[in-house]
Structure 1
Amino acid sequence: MQTPREILKEVFGYDDFRAGQLDIIEKVLAHKHTLAIMPTGGGKSITYQLPALMFEGLTLVISPLISLMKDQVDGLNTMGIDATFLNSTLTGQEQAQRMSDIRAGLYKMLYVSPERLEIPSFFGFIQQLPIDLVAIDEAHVMSQWGHDFRPSYLNILPLLHEIPGSPAVLGLTATATERVRESLQQLLDVSDEDTVLTGFARDNLALKIMHYVDKRRYVQDYLRENSEQSGIIYAATRKQVDELYEFLHKKGVKVGRYHAGLPEHERQAMQEAFLYDDVQVIVATNAFGMGINKPNVRFVIHYSVPGNIEAYYQEIGRAGRDGLPAEAVLLYAPQDMHLQEFFVQKSGGSEEYKQNEYNKIREMNAFANTQTCLPRYLLGYFGEIVDQDCKMCSNCLDSREMVDVTTDTQKVLANVMRMNQSFGKTMVAKILKGSHDATVKKYDYLTQLPTYGLMKAHTLKDLTAFIDFLTADGYLKTAGGEFPVLKVTEIGARVLKGQLVVEKRLNRSVVAQQKVVTSAAKGLKLSDDDNQLFARLKAKRLELAREAGIPPFLIFSDKTLMNMAILRPKTDEEFLALSGVGEKKFEIYHNDFAHVLADDLQVRE
């Protein structure tokens, strides 16, 4: 039998495993219950696709979105892996034929949704199959503490014990806090030693947060500077998606849209147009993207602040999956947080669930307002402590002067204490401002405090932003659900006692910040000759993809084509040595790309 490393090179075209992959694969091959927590783009799929080729029986993949199964199966088929799916997009005759072929052992992998497994007749069919591995993708949705809890996933857990032969079970996710991790371990019966956590860092992804910008103008300028790049823009509501889509469409941008209010056929068409590079950018709610494996997404823009850090991390992870430089830009406005709170208020969850969601909104707001290194803050949220700043996020690159704000900090903290730590940031800001509005008059005694009007020279907007900064950097904390109150932390108390100095960057004017438009294409420049060849290789890839009816990246990734353009392989051995070129793809596509390379050589000679 071939070794995992031999299969990695022959089938997938890679010389080395990424961090954690081989460890997970070995646990799976030993038929263990395993939990894999790896960053988006970290290579989770290989940890079950490769063992599927080594097991004699079938690998069952439980995937959350049926609309994405075809893309995943098409990708496996291009590598020579016999895979299929069963879902409602197939006719009864097609399903019957595939089930017959599955019984006959013609497939190594089968994709299904958790809801289909719950159908007794279908699960009876599953019980008759020689299943060696059950892979549960997006496993975080099983945890009530996860950011996209789906009860249907919990319903499959008892069924796992009823599959004959005690198959290996592999849960996979990119987003798991310590609480979610412990929950998944309990649900899947996974020990600490069989939990593989490779870290959450994405070294090729630059994080940027822009405050108080004209969002439409910013997006328009950004897309103009990145006109040849592929990206996703996430908005909070269907209305926001439609309005931004219409705006960009009128500006001549090759744009698509995606949300649950569109007809299924339109959503499918938009998704395919994006995958096939027929549109440059897609504007979407968070209904779009789960499981998307498009590797050449160069940027993700959050037009609105997401409701929690887990969702933010997962969504930005859709950029730069090929390992090349990419950007994630968050356009922050305080009203975004009010919208997220409204969503929680209208949800049908329990009070405990709502409390948890409110806490997540506060955590997201703190992240958006911190002045520390953004990846460092993000990794800390997931329990991963790093010692060094990234040197490429918007906070690390911020050249504004640091000023001592200890006195102003003490004023805010003293005011919170005098208000008995029983009010939220809006009321705290109003008392410091010396406001006379109706809400203040309700608590007339607050106007008698020595801190009333203590910072009247500041605007309410500046005061609430300053309170957000103090909360983000740990001098204040929030407590409570829908109506949170501010409390002074331990390090805040040390500031009050004069034991700590607080520094903050000077405020940047809104006009100045609107001019800051970065380029996702940074770091992707080839030489002129290489770039011209890269363009011809991409054109050939698009031609072949359209003939085959598959997305271009399923043939070769941009990274593979760039290496091809730089290295210009002349022999079969040199071509096979390219990262991402397995034997099956070599067999199918070598001649087409070799002709492009030969023509380029002839022109240059």
Structure 2
Amino acid sequence: MTSAPALAGPAYDVLNRVFGYADFRGGQREIIEHVIGGGDALVLMPTGGGKSLCYQIPALVREGTGVVISPLIALMQDQVDALRTLGVRAGFLNSTQDPEERRLTEQLYVAGELDLLYVAPEGLGVPSTQRLLDRGRIALFAIDEAHCVSQWGHDFRPDYLNLSMLHERWPQVPRIALTATATSATREEIATRLGLTGARHFTASFDRPNIQYRIVAKNEPRRQLLDLLRTEHPGDAGIVCCLSRASVDRTAEFLVQNGIAALPYHAGLDARTRAANQSRFLREDGLIMVATIAFGMGIDKPDVRFVAHLDLPKSVEGYYQETGRAGRDGLPSTAWLAYGLQDVVQQRKMIETSEGDLAHRRNLAAHLDAMLALCETVQCRRAQLLAYFGQSAEPTCGNCDTCLTPPESWDGTVAAQKLLSTVLRLQRERGQKFGAGQSIDILLGKTTEKVQQFRHHELSVFGIGTDLREQEWRGVVRQLLAQGLLAVEGEYGTLTLTDASTAVLRKERQVMMRREPERTRAPKARRASSGGAAPATDLDPAGAAAFERLRAWRAAAAKEAGVPAYVIFHDATLRQIAALRPGSLTELSTVGGVGETKLARFGQQVLETLAG
């Protein structure tokens, strides 16, 4: 337990005694006091910013049981285990339980012997669950991952639409809805659909300064990923995001063949395999999960050191949510994305052929345009990311690729005119449409079989683009697509002009483009930690040795208890212990994250490990 905070009160007592922290971070205190007082709240706070405490502490202070609605059935057991390790009386109700387990949890709830009860949104819609809740006393409702109610969002869950009934059935019970990502439009949709229009809004900074954002041009992306893992993250836990199941399987197999411990996760695997792989990822050190975006929401593993994307996310919100799995402990982490022309073509094609009306397709296109703008910017990535969520930032952050290795911008107007002219001549003179590859071959003057077959070597634009390399032309096409000066259509993703193309062809519009800097090594960042999070402690040799002994002890203790290692102590807590090397329980109690129960349960073992 840390030393008593200067400020007093029941919330501070719980924070200190149960969770082992001396003071609140960011806006936690204001949110917690508002909910303790019975107010409704809509909370936007980044992953790793301490959202859980915003409902856990009020649930422990208020009379009754805090009911947490979470879409993450596979993670409920781990969430409950983590709370029980802190001495919190927690349970869950979901479809994975056998009848006897469910009956026992229900009995504990009705008897008032649970501090927190986790339920799935689909379970809450069942009348028997509602009648059960009526038999106990509810301290509050916490609606986690609240963005799942947004039908325009990236994680829409239909069962969330029914949660407006909470206020109708239990009007006196305060509600707190929480999400790690939402634009102002999504925020209003959450409030409306959940019946929280009268709730107080709390918006924390979306900045995660410990995460280094990097976006690279694709050039054999799996090899690029392997280089990242070997040079910067050897032995680290991480998540690799892919759009398709096939890509997940191929990437996981590729990593394993190259000596990297990796597991696949996607909806095509049977439920038992998915659960087993997720359990291994949470419980073992140094594993990499290769997954579709179905994986990751709500993952509590704090020591994920990188999130790598091998495919372009569909929106900035999705990208931010997924990269937020990295560095929840506040220690330096990497968000890395490999992005190429085919990504843009594929995404544009998916939007064109998607189900839904014109308004829906326009919304998808707007999301993609914002994501492309983030990829193509020559400005600070972090500043642009925060601006998307309506927050201001310094013009340079010192911890993204565009700040650490600034790219050049160049006047690509002539190159754009050459490419657009090629597409125009194919359509007007030959009545033909082709993908990017054929247009580039024409510009480079390549006499390929297809060029000869269609007599494209006779076009006036044949060979006029030899001033750029093929890879550079692919960048030109990618950026024209990103800027809306070129479009793709049809099943084969053929190129076509847009209304905006005319101004470029008439020399009425300048086209500035991004030139990727040459990189011989990874950029070095300032060592930053998220506001209030555990610092990235630089350990001396003795401290580093102590840290490794503590990690080994933690692994054994976690295995014996059947819980993930971070449930015992986070890496950040172990680093602080290794740096301080306390000689008594009193000294150990001053470390953040060492609460009363953990001190009593593990304190002596920690001291013995340090002495050994």
* Residue of structure 1 equivalent to 2:342: 335
User: Could you tell me how far apart the structure 1 residues matched to 2:222 and 2:512 are?
Assistant: 35
Alignment partner of 1:466 is 2:476 = yes
Q: CA deviation at 1:103?
A: 0.5
User: Could you tell me how far apart the structure 1 residues matched to 2:198 and 2:511 are?
Assistant: 41
Q: How many residues align?
A: 583
Alignment partner of 1:218 is 2:231 = no
Pair 25,480 (structure 1): closer, same or farther in 2 beyond 3 Å: farther
Alignment partner of 1:135 is 2:135 = no
* Residue of structure 1 equivalent to 2:428: none
Alignment partner of 1:45 is 2:52 = yes
1:84 corresponds, among 91, 94, 103, to 91
User: Could you tell me how far apart the structure 2 residues matched to 1:341 and 1:476 are?
Assistant: 13
Q: Is the 8 A contact 1:207 1:393 kept in 2?
A: yes
Pair 526,238 (structure 1): closer, same or farther in 2 beyond 3 Å: same
* Residue of structure 2 equivalent to 1:209: 215
Alignment partner of 1:576 is 2:589 = yes
What secondary structure sits across from 1:167 in the alignment? coil
Deviations 1:499-529 (A, max 9, x none): x995754664xxxx5x645799987752221
Alignment partner of 1:566 is 2:579 = yes
Q: CA deviation at 1:399?
A: 5.1
Deviations 1:542-583 (A, max 9, x none): 111111111110111101100101111123222111011111
* Residue of structure 1 equivalent to 2:32: 25
Deviations 1:575-594 (A, max 9, x none): 11101111111111101001
User: Could you tell me how far apart the structure 1 residues matched to 2:351 and 2:512 are?
Assistant: 34
What secondary structure sits across from 1:396 in the alignment? helix
Deviations 1:55-105 (A, max 9, x none): 101211110121111111111111111111001111112112211111111
TM-score, normalization by structure 1: 0.85
Matches within 5 A, 1:78-227: 78-157=85-164, 159-190=165-196, 194-225=200-231, 226-227=233-234
User: Could you tell me how far apart the structure 2 residues matched to 1:75 and 1:463 are?
Assistant: 52
User: Could you tell me how far apart the structure 1 residues matched to 2:553 and 2:411 are?
Assistant: 58
TM-score, normalization by structure 2: 0.84
What secondary structure sits across from 1:4 in the alignment? helix
Q: Is the 8 A contact 1:143 1:180 kept in 2?
A: yes
Q: CA deviation at 1:538?
A: 0.5
User: Could you tell me how far apart the structure 2 residues matched to 1:14 and 1:579 are?
Assistant: 5
User: Could you tell me how far apart the structure 2 residues matched to 1:333 and 1:487 are?
Assistant: 24
User: Could you tell me how far apart the structure 2 residues matched to 1:577 and 1:478 are?
Assistant: 59
Deviations 1:3-34 (A, max 9, x none): 31222111111112111111211221222221
Q: Is the 8 A contact 1:35 1:185 kept in 2?
A: yes
Pair 232,414 (structure 1): closer, same or farther in 2 beyond 3 Å: closer
Q: 2:235 corresponds to which letter in structure 1? A: E
User: Could you tell me how far apart the structure 2 residues matched to 1:62 and 1:380 are?
Assistant: 30
* Residue of structure 2 equivalent to 1:602: none
Q: CA deviation at 1:326?
A: 0.4
* Residue of structure 1 equivalent to 2:242: 235
Q: Is the 8 A contact 1:403 1:504 kept in 2?
A: yes
What secondary structure sits across from 2:399 in the alignment? coil
User: Could you tell me how far apart the structure 1 residues matched to 2:257 and 2:413 are?
Assistant: 50
User: Could you tell me how far apart the structure 2 residues matched to 1:540 and 1:300 are?
Assistant: 27
Alignment partner of 1:586 is 2:599 = yes
Q: CA deviation at 1:397?
A: 1.7
User: Could you tell me how far apart the structure 1 residues matched to 2:561 and 2:245 are?
Assistant: 33
* Residue of structure 1 equivalent to 2:81: 74
Pair 10,249 (structure 1): closer, same or farther in 2 beyond 3 Å: same
Q: Is the 8 A contact 1:413 1:496 kept in 2?
A: no
Give the unaligned 5+ runs of structure 2: 1-7, 426-432, 452-457, 528-535
* Residue of structure 2 equivalent to 1:541: 554
Q: 2:110 corresponds to which letter in structure 1? A: R
Q: Is the 8 A contact 2:345 2:488 kept in 1?
A: no
Alignment partner of 1:269 is 2:279 = no
Q: CA deviation at 1:477?
A: 9.6
Give the unaligned 5+ runs of structure 1: 441-446, 600-605
Q: CA deviation at 1:429?
A: 11
User: Could you tell me how far apart the structure 2 residues matched to 1:94 and 1:578 are?
Assistant: 36
Deviations 1:458-478 (A, max 9, x none): 467634523644676x79698
User: Could you tell me how far apart the structure 2 residues matched to 1:519 and 1:303 are?
Assistant: 22
Matches within 5 A, 1:148-547: 148-157=155-164, 159-190=165-196, 194-225=200-231, 226-278=233-285, 280-341=287-348, 343-344=350-351, 348-398=355-405, 402=408, 404-405=410-411, 408=414, 411=417, 433=443, 457-458=467-468, 462-463=472-473, 465-466=475-476, 468-469=478-479, 486=498, 488=500, 502=512, 504-505=514-515, 508=518, 516=521, 525-547=538-560
What secondary structure sits across from 1:161 in the alignment? helix
* Residue of structure 2 equivalent to 1:603: none
Q: Is the 8 A contact 1:233 1:300 kept in 2?
A: yes
Pair 390,306 (structure 1): closer, same or farther in 2 beyond 3 Å: same
User: Could you tell me how far apart the structure 2 residues matched to 1:357 and 1:274 are?
Assistant: 32
* Residue of structure 1 equivalent to 2:565: 552
Q: Is the 8 A contact 2:349 2:488 kept in 1?
A: no
Q: Is the 8 A contact 1:344 1:358 kept in 2?
A: yes
Q: Percent identity?
A: 38
